[in-house]
Amino acid sequence: QVQLVESGGGLVQAGGSLRLSCAASGTAFSIIAMGWYRQAPGKQRDLVARITAGGSTNYADSVKGRFTISRDNAGNTVYLQMNSLKPEDTGVYYCNTESYYYTVVRDYWGQGTQVTVSS
Instruction: Give the pLDDT score at 45.
Output: 97
Whether the CB-CB separation of 81 and 27 falls below 8 Å is answered with: no
Distance CA(118)–CA(15), nearest Å, equals 9
Q: Residue 28 above 90 pLDDT?
A: no
Which amino acid belongs to residue 19?
A: R
Q: Which of 20, 17, 13, 52 is nearest to 37 (CA)?
A: 20
Instruction: Enumerate residues 6+ apart whose C-beta is below 8 A from 8.
Output: 18, 19, 20, 21, 113
Give tens-digit pLDDT for 46-78: 999 999 999 999 999 999 999 999 999 888 999
Give tens-digit pLDDT for 72-107: 988 899 999 999 999 999 999 999 999 999 889 999
